[in-house]
Structure 1
Amino acid sequence: MQSLSLKTLNIDESNDVNDNVEEEDDPNSKHNRSIHIEPFHRQRRIDGTLPFSEQIKMMQYIVPTNGIDGRHITDKNMLETDAQGGVWKEIIHTGIGQKPTIGACVRLHYYAYFEHRDEPFDTSFKRRRYLEFRIGKCDVLPGIDIAVGTMQRRERSKFIISSDLLYGELGCAPHIPESAWCLYVIELLITNEPSAIIYDEQLLMKNTTNRQQLDDFAKRIRLAQTLRNTGNEEYANGQLDRALRSYNKARQLIHNKVTLIDGKHEEQYHQLLLKLHLNSAQCYLRLDNFEKCLRACRDALVIEPNNLKALFRASVSLRSLNQLNEAEKYLAKAMTVDSQNQDILNEVEKLKEAFDLLINKKSDETFILKESNELDIDDMLSCIAVSDEFRIKLDSVLNEFIETTTIEPFTIQRDNFSDTEYYYIELLAKYKQLNINRIDENIIHITK
């Protein structure tokens, strides 16, 4: 009987990992992996013994500045000695894709060093979070913004940046010295163009805002309904001012402050708002604040144009404000809604009485005014300094003109009379209810 052995099963008996020798990769093999790049946070990034003045000789001068206020040197006629600062760049590992444009959102890791230092004074790894900002939006120091704007995604580069593009002449005591130049080693992780950012924000709003809007709508409607119920209790107890405060708080809580998702929510919102307007109008009416009552009724009629309560209370308010014609319009519309309503019929009678009272009052005022005017003209005529002979003669002439049947006008030439006499003629003609027509500056016609 043949026995089974490890050799028979082709199983390697050795457990020594050192016996597994890897063969050299074939450079032509499609399975050959790319050269491994050491993780950014484990790399030795700079040589702190080399001065910046020596390092920049081996770097690309991408942005020259005057070294004072960050102003870029762009004039080709300027001498090289005019550029005393700026940004120098050396690519450590090339990236892929396009460079970020203005407004693009970038994410990156970085190390920042002072000259002659091996240890960074700042790094994103201390915060355990990448740095994120938008290009060209003044979110970071100008030098960082310029440097990252020259990079591609997944690129790692070294930058030396002058103080005028970083912390300036004063620095930032106690951590940043005065006029400090810095070396930055930056790895650009992600670049999102502005259009992609807008799309992401819209997508986020679409996924999250609807839920928030629904929650906010339900919460506000519930609180407003509670306040309305409180106001109703206060109204029943005769506490009209407190009821008004409750209604106003409820209205402020929802009016133009909720997002209507669908037709059902819109109907719920409008019905609650309508009730609050009507309740407020009733309180104002009982408090004899007719102007605010009218305003609340008109707000209610915007929501429901044929609301009977709003039409009735608006008519009562207008009648109380003596705007009878407007009150009649609202009452007529209320009659078309419900012509058998007893409150409406009673208001019709009250409005008729108000019209009758107004007509009688106007008649009395007209009579009093006429009598007063007659007395005033008599007094004025007696006060005008003209001779008695002139008074008698003019009165006789005008009486004869009135009694005649002629339709020809009675002509007066001003040059024949003094200013006082001329004024007396006009006033006496008006007193006798004659018409005065001015033909020109010198002639007037008196007609019946």
Structure 2
Amino acid sequence: MERKSTTFALESGLDLRQLVTSGSVLHINEDYDDNNCIEPAKTKESKSSVVIGQPVSDFRELEKTMTLLDDNGFVKKKILEEGGGLPLSDSNTVSVAFSGYWQGSLEPFDVCSIHKPLVVDLMNSGLLPGLEKAVRSMLVGETSVFLFTHDLMYGEMGVPPRIKPKANCVFYVKLLKSILTQKDGTIDFAEPNMFHRVHHEVKMLFSSGMTLFKTKNHPAAIQLFRKAVFMLHKCRLADEKEESVQEKLLIKLYMNLAVCYNTIKQPLKACTACNELRRLNSLWNNGKALYQNAKALRMIGQFDAAEKRLRRAMKLCDNKEDIETELTLLLKNKESCNQSRILVNNVSEAGCTVISKDFKNEVEKLIISFKENVDLCQLVMPSGLNSAEVAYIKHVCIRENLFFNKIKANVNFEKDDSNISDEMNIKESDEKYALDKYEAVSTYDDENSLKWENDDLIIF
């Protein structure tokens, strides 16, 4: 049979030196329980921290200091502590604490403490009519005492024994917090005061987009930034203050879109984002925006326009190192891929089907340089090419596994707010073509519209 061992707890530890010399006396703690744990002492919550207000011995005396809250005299009010903020409405959800007393009663018959307040959606509160009327009259932080008749509270019958029949009562109420009620489902862009909801959603999208950008998930970041842009363009604005907030957010979003599109080498979309910045008067006075615009223009071969933006950005930015690096790259690409050379050697007449040997040589050099240049995504051809020259360029592109696309709509690269020469502007009637390393060429319209081809965002 297995012997059961017994354990004892000592009141104090053993001194080994004393144990091997003079000996020791063991004192056993008979009250010890090894399952016990030390717990912090629980402090009983004081009554004053739970209950608002104090008993009222005579309602008639209190009534003399109160003001009517309704025409029928069913609710009277006295403010004990002033609150502040905007008045409440159906769109608010409030947190309230209260204590209800009968006349002459020393203890409240109904209590909701400050530490565990009652949270109520005023659209569908479920409160007694008198108490709801009282709460709606308050401001955040306010503490008031209300005298209710039975008409707006518990009625003539009451609920005996706890609720007396046909009895008046006093409630001390403190309005702790008020927030706009969160609405379910998608945002209805026709609803009033809608910018507040859109503003919150846009900030969340912006924050998430920044996180995705930092983790180099640029396509996902673009999706969130564009969704935020869409929401801001669609929302209703109540005043100039909301318009100012909307404009600041749009500038941040378009700036981030330009950076993202340049990073994944979609320069035309970056140019469109920069056009929107220009529309918001935040391009020619914004060195960072000019820098991103110049990068995009350099990638599509608009070297002159890119150079003008870079030189202006140098005047606006303190840190010129990145700008100088970009300018060096720009001038190098401009030298190796100079589209104007094909015009110099283009001596054939517009209706002629024969093209010169010099033209062919320059086209060959231009296309090879473009193909080998990793810093160029697209190269816009000069206007004025005849059908034979267009056909020949297309033939060489097919041979070199490049795309030769017609640009359906045009970004007016030189149109700006700084009185820079418009001599290179493209007429709407001119057909434009571009060498492209990708098959699809997005189309853009600069007349206050933004079109994202092959995607779900269209803003007019």
Indicate the structure with greater helix content: 1
Global fold match (TM > 0.5): no
Per the normalisation by structure 2, the TM-score is 0.32
Q: TM-score, normalising length from structure 1?
A: 0.33
